[in-house]
Amino acid sequence: MAEVAPKRRYVVIMAGGVGTRFWPWSRQERPKQLLKLCGDTTMLADTVARVSRLVPTENILIVTGTALRKGVLEAVPELPAANVYCEPLGRNTAACVGWAAMEVAHRDPTGVMVVLPADHVVDGRSSFESDVRKALRLAEAPGVLVTFGIKPDSPSTGYGYIRAGAEWKEGRGARKVLSFHEKPSLSRAKSFIRRGNFYWNSGMFVWRADSILAELRSHLPRLAAGLEAMEAKRRRGRVPRAAIDSVYPRLQSISIDHGVMEKAKRVAVVPASFGWSDIGTWDAVGEVWPKDRTGNASHGVVISVDSSGNLAATEGKPVAFVGVEGLAVVDSGDALLVCSRERSQDVREVVEELKKRGLTGLL
């Protein structure tokens, strides 16, 4: 199958998340994707740079929240402002993907979309580009949906899984998807690892705009009807923002995985040859940050006395650990988080408690 022409390729970056597990660094107007967690640039800017050799800049679209528009434009000033689409209210990934597909279809109905989260870490840019090109060629066929699977290195209970079957009929190293499985129990995750044909679900996809819109009409007809009503208002000359604000908040809230991928029939998985992490918690960040000789990961100055396996994330303050293990200490200037690294999934509960107490200045 011939290479998809660059002008027909689009990248849609989903950048509307709130990142509550990264409090206190993550705030309502500076969530995870706008943080510099893994280098000198934001995670969103890293994602844009990762696809810059695959598609023209004008074909990179970002879907985010209205409150994040300024931060997004500051993070990626090279993108046209018109390519940043702001949801008036977050309605999960199916609405986000459907809206972006409508925009791509408006430009090119058979344009092929690469859909990426804004806040993942990818190691091996050349391998990533090669895998994406493979997926683009597969997704050029009408009705084919492609996802990327990550070969598990542990029986993680924090990821969804993909069960792969035989080689995809067009080959290219892809396999047919037999089923999707939500985050499993530990015993079930161990059984997946033993069976060998399971991958972590990366949440990254490739498909033609008309293909995903057809799947939305089939599996999520109410959502599709809402998106089409929004598009019809625009075609009739309504101010685009007014059409979005009146329709979008009423769209069905459901993930693209539950709403479409679990039900679609022609789904292929490309086993990723690149390194990947969704770094969903402070504990996961500690796995990618530099470590001292006793395994303490840090972003800033750390002094360690009989301490190991800790994480320190500060904005200027040195941190001293004495006789402790497995702690995460995160300083944002106006707030300090101290927790065990193994409980870093639960940081979101701090944000909920702040809301209950009315401490909005810390959100």
- Mind listing the pLDDT tens digit for each residue in 18-73? 889 999 999 999 999 999 998 889 999 999 999 999 999 999 999 999 999 999 99
Task: Answer yes or no: do 95 and 206 share one domain.
Answer: yes
Q: Return the structure tokens found at 230.
A: 């929004």
Task: Answer yes or no: do 161 and 240 share one domain.
Answer: yes
Domain boundary among 220, 252, 277: 277
Domain boundary among 227, 259, 277: 277
In this model, does residue 251 exceed pLDDT 80?
yes
Query: How many whole angstroms separate alpha carbon 46 and alpha carbon 308?
Result: 30
Under 8 Å between Cβ of 334 and 316: no
Under 8 Å between Cβ of 4 and 138: no
In this model, does residue 176 exceed pLDDT 70?
yes
Domain boundary among 243, 277, 311: 277
Task: Answer yes or no: do 253 and 346 share one domain.
Answer: no
Confidence grade of residue 241 (pLDDT, cut at 50, 70, 90): confident
Task: Answer yes or no: do 225 and 357 share one domain.
Answer: no
Query: How many whole angstroms separate alpha carbon 295 and alpha carbon 327?
Result: 12
Task: Answer yes or no: do 67 and 187 share one domain.
Answer: yes
Please give the angle made by the CA atoms of 113, 114 and 119, to the nearest 5 degrees. 140
Query: How many whole angstroms separate alpha carbon 64 and alpha carbon 320?
Result: 38
Kind of pairing, strands 175-181 and 297-299? unpaired
pLDDT in tens, 148-164: 999 999 999 889 999 99
Statement: the pTM of the whole predicted model exceeds 0.85:
yes
Please give the angle made by the CA atoms of 131, 128 and 91, to the nearest 5 degrees. 90
In this model, does residue 130 exceed pLDDT 60?
yes
Task: Answer yes or no: do 269 and 209 share one domain.
Answer: yes
Confidence grade of residue 1 (pLDDT, cut at 50, 70, 90): low
Residue 28 burial by Cβ neighbours in a 10 Å radius (0-12, 13-18, 19+): middle
pLDDT number for residue 231: 84
Q: Return the structure tokens found at 261.
A: 């991928």
In this model, does residue 255 exceed pLDDT 70?
yes
pLDDT number for residue 237: 61
Q: What length does the chain have?
A: 363
Work out the mean pLDDT of the chain and round it to a whole number.
93
In this model, does residue 238 exceed pLDDT 60?
no
Q: Please report whether residue 55 resides in a domain.
A: yes
Task: Answer yes or no: do 266 and 147 share one domain.
Answer: yes
Q: Could you give the number of structural domains in the chain?
A: 2
Query: How many whole angstroms separate alpha carbon 309 and alpha carbon 125?
Result: 29
What radius of gyration, in Å, describes the C-alpha atoms of the chain?
Answer: 21
Task: Answer yes or no: do 74 and 194 share one domain.
Answer: yes
pLDDT number for residue 209: 97
pLDDT number for residue 303: 93
Residue 341 main-chain phi, psi, to 5 deg: -60, -35
Confidence grade of residue 239 (pLDDT, cut at 50, 70, 90): low
Nearest Cα to Cα of residue 204 among 265, 166, 261:
261
Question: Which residue in this structure is represented by tokens 């706008």?
Answer: 34
Task: Answer yes or no: do 259 and 298 share one domain.
Answer: no
pLDDT number for residue 126: 96
Owning domain of residue 57: 6-277
Q: Please report whether residue 1 resides in a domain.
A: no
pLDDT (mean) for 118-133? 96
DSSP element (H, E) containing 245: helix 240-247
Kind of pairing, strands 145-150 and 319-322? unpaired
pLDDT number for residue 300: 77
pLDDT number for residue 27: 94
pLDDT in tens, 260-307: 999 999 999 999 999 999 888 999 999 989 999 999 999 778 999 999
Under 8 Å between Cβ of 307 and 323: yes
Task: Answer yes or no: do 255 and 357 share one domain.
Answer: no
pLDDT in tens, 4-18: 888 899 999 999 988
Higher pLDDT, 343 or 236: 343
Task: Answer yes or no: do 96 and 130 share one domain.
Answer: yes
